[in-house]
Structure 1
Amino acid sequence: MDKLKQTRLGSEGLVVPAIGLGCMGMTPGFGFEELYGKTDEKEAIATIHRSLELGGNFLDTADAYGPFLNEQLIAKAMGGNRSQYIIATKFGIEVNDEGAYTGLVNGKANYVRKAVERSLKNLQTDYIDLYYLHRLDKTTPVEETVAALAELVKEGKVRYIGLSEVSSATIRKAHKVHPLTAVQTEYSLFERSLEEDGIYDTLNQLGIGLVAYSPLGRGFLSGQFRSPDDYSASDFRRHIPKTSGDQFYKNLELLKEIEAMAAEKGITSTQLALAWVMAKGAVPIPGTKRVKYVESNIAATKIELTPKDMDHLESIIPLGAQTGARYGEAGMQQVD
């Protein structure tokens, strides 16, 4: 078996596979019984194990997924093989001691400490490879949050730190306190706002890695959904502007062009979309909970796109194209 391509995130030495595994959809969360369709713990664990067999040992989770259930699932999947995995988790979407969301974002130093101890317990480990602030606490200077994270690095509880869904200004302020290894944000052919907002250039200038969540447009680029009604009644994608109402059908017309290009290359639209993200220098973390999909996703690392291919794809959905908001109004208010 060919070794899975590796890439370096940031300048501090974290080397990860060219593609990771987003685990969010493996458990319920955020009040939805099904984030991305029905969950099956046995199949989810099999998917994590198959990913590892193929070299895909970079797992992404968060304390807010469940809450706590996702980290606990990953601990169960790892068993006694913690050293074989690179674990990224997130904190900041506040969860109280009873395991309930408070509706707040908390980046205060004392909460950083509380959250990391809880995640270490749920993950059944004594260190976290990459620890992100999930959303910016707009009531707390980011410098305070990052200083607290830097203390965890000194103590060995966290190896590397990052931020999620933050602006260029926030990235620059945080990076002065302690080097950021990665910034995680939504990035796909259908969501290129970080290029328009200058975030993409800022990361390249500072040597910070880009980790792309929802690189398949929350599964839309797989082509398996041809109507909003194809999502189950309890699937949260029915409530996101990008994948509901008239916008769904507008995006579907763009998807058909991507599917035609993929067919010409003899690959799937999913693989083409992932190859584009990787060619842009990002590490995609597509979420799946099925073995067949993780195999297909990892196979995308072998696809090489030419400059002509990239130009064609970006002409289908150019910068500035209106593909719909990523979240509802409340969700977008949490984006820096």
Structure 2
Amino acid sequence: MKNNKTQKSGERSRRAFIQESTLAGMGLLFGPSVLSAVDNRSTITHNKEKMEKNMNTRKLGKLEVSEIGAGCMSISANYGAPAARNEGIKTIRAAYGNGVTFFDTAEVYGPYTNEQLVGEALAPFRDKVTIATKFGFDIGGKQIALNSKPEHIRKVVEESLKRLRTDRIDLLYQHRVDPNVPIEDVAGAVKDLINEGKVLHFGLSEASAKTIREAHLVQPVTAIQSEYSFMERSVEKNGVLAVCEELGIGFVPWGPLGMGYLTGKLNAQTPFDDKLDLRATFERFSSENLAANMPIVNLLNRFASGKNATASQIALAWLMAQKPFIVPIPGTRNITHFKENSGALNVQLTTADLQELETEYAKLEVYGGRMNAMQMTFCE
């Protein structure tokens, strides 16, 4: 990460909002980015054969999934008012119809409503998709609290199975590391669930390299999920990406398009509802930093113009070019944007292209922290 500029006094009100957040706000905070949408079932049918033909697979450990996945969180919360239920179902089924087989959710998204939506949407083709969900929080109180006690993990899994309308969870992440529960105990609890067939694979989210190693000794870790994008590169420097490569663990970036910023569709005048949009509390989404970070988007746009591509496509293609075990989970509710994101699969970046991007990026600075202070306390 490059040095962040200190926020001005206007950010103090944002921090005050954070401290007053209730569980509803909690559902806004810990997820990957958004998913794609389509307007009608005929589009799903028309595009299915074409996209399945183009959508290759990648390995997360031993788990094989579509090379681009779908984060479902924002359909139910986070980036504005939740979508209508029928639109949410069409969104998820559209992604499947276009070749996506890897879907990400969590009990805390909503809370609960996103798992219910994912379960209903994927029920007709459950055996053809991979569903990832997460545990790690106490839900029900006014304060955000971590809870990865083994008995709590089991309770969450039983409830998630019902909401997801399934008999197994393909990939179960610890949403955030609980400092009060040894990671060996967490891994052991998941290992028991794997032995029972209720869970197939184990993952960690926003965990340190040290924690990953310790968990992996008890139960092999299949995937790590952390924020990673062209402008957010902490995992390159804190050892997380390196330990994944060393141990054969897959990596799933959330926020692969900078939570929408790298699409080039946001600017200093973009409004964010502080009750419905988590980005309202993030330093990078202050009007000052939205303007200050624009050279990063401009770089992607300049490069895209020579590739007959868009900034989003270059950002995703760059991310996938970093390691063969990286599976990003971008998306949008807009079918045009979905097609745009999928188009990243057709962008070929040469070694020279990647070097040019790095050389130009090195001249720039990233302004603002990736999440707010309270949320960062949950990340190792």
Does the pair score TM above 0.5? yes
Query: Which category of TM-score, normalised to the shorter sequence, fits these structures?
Result: over 0.9
1:54 to partner: Cα distance: 1.7
1:192-227 alpha-carbon deviations (Å, 9 max, x no partner)? 011111111111111110000000000001111112
- TM value normalised by structure 2: 0.82
Say if 1:319 and 1:109 are closer, same or farther in 2 by CA, change over 3 A. farther
Task: Find the counterpart in structure 2 of residue 243 from structure 1.
Answer: 285
More strand by share: 1
- TM value normalised by structure 1: 0.92
Q: Distance in 2 between matches of 1:228 and 1:180?
A: 42
Q: Distance in 2 between matches of 1:314 and 1:133?
A: 33
Counterpart amino acid of residue 327 in structure 1: M
Within 5 A, what are the aligned runs for 1:230-269? Answer: 230-232=271-273, 234-269=276-311
SS at match of 1:89: strand
Which range is displaced more, 80-89 or 38-47? 38-47
Q: Quick check: 2:150–2:186 contact (8 Å CA) kept in 1? A: yes
Q: Distance in 1 between matches of 2:211 and 2:165?
A: 32
Say if 1:23 and 1:303 are closer, same or farther in 2 by CA, change over 3 A. same
Q: Distance in 1 between matches of 2:298 and 2:364?
A: 19
SS at match of 1:7: strand
Matched, 1:104 2:145: yes
Matched, 1:161 2:205: no
Task: Find the counterpart in structure 2 of residue 8 from structure 1.
Answer: 59
SS at match of 2:355: helix
1:228 to partner: Cα distance: 4.8
SS at match of 2:159: helix
Which range is displaced more, 243-252 or 113-122? 243-252
Within 5 A, what are the aligned runs for 1:25-64? Answer: 25-28=74-77, 35-41=78-84, 42-64=86-108
Task: Mark the runs of 5 or more structure 1 residues left unpaired by the alignment.
Answer: 29-34
Say if 1:318 and 1:160 are closer, same or farther in 2 by CA, change over 3 A. farther
Q: Distance in 2 between matches of 1:246 and 1:59?
A: 34
Within 5 A, what are the aligned runs for 1:1-336? Answer: 1=50, 2-10=53-61, 13-28=62-77, 35-41=78-84, 42-96=86-140, 100=141, 102-232=143-273, 234-281=276-323, 282-318=326-362, 321-336=365-380
Q: Percent identity?
A: 39
Q: Quick check: 1:134–1:164 contact (8 Å CA) kept in 2? A: yes
Q: Quick check: 2:295–2:364 contact (8 Å CA) kept in 1? A: no
Task: Provide runs of 4+ in structure 1 moved above 4 Å.
Answer: none
CA RMSD of aligned residues (A): 1.7
1:3 to partner: Cα distance: 3.6
SS at match of 1:79: helix
Which range is displaced more, 171-180 or 253-262? 253-262
Q: Distance in 1 between matches of 2:131 and 2:215?
A: 22
Which range is displaced more, 59-68 or 300-309? 300-309
Say if 1:193 and 1:221 are closer, same or farther in 2 by CA, change over 3 A. same
1:332 to partner: Cα distance: 0.5
Q: Distance in 1 between matches of 2:287 and 2:236?
A: 26
1:313 to partner: Cα distance: 2.0
1:63-97 alpha-carbon deviations (Å, 9 max, x no partner)? 1100101001111212332112210011102214x
Q: Distance in 1 between matches of 2:183 and 2:363?
A: 29
Say if 1:168 and 1:317 are closer, same or farther in 2 by CA, change over 3 A. same
Say if 1:141 and 1:311 are closer, same or farther in 2 by CA, change over 3 A. same
Which range is displaced more, 49-58 or 187-196? 49-58
Task: Mark the runs of 5 or more structure 2 residues left unpaired by the alignment.
Answer: 1-49
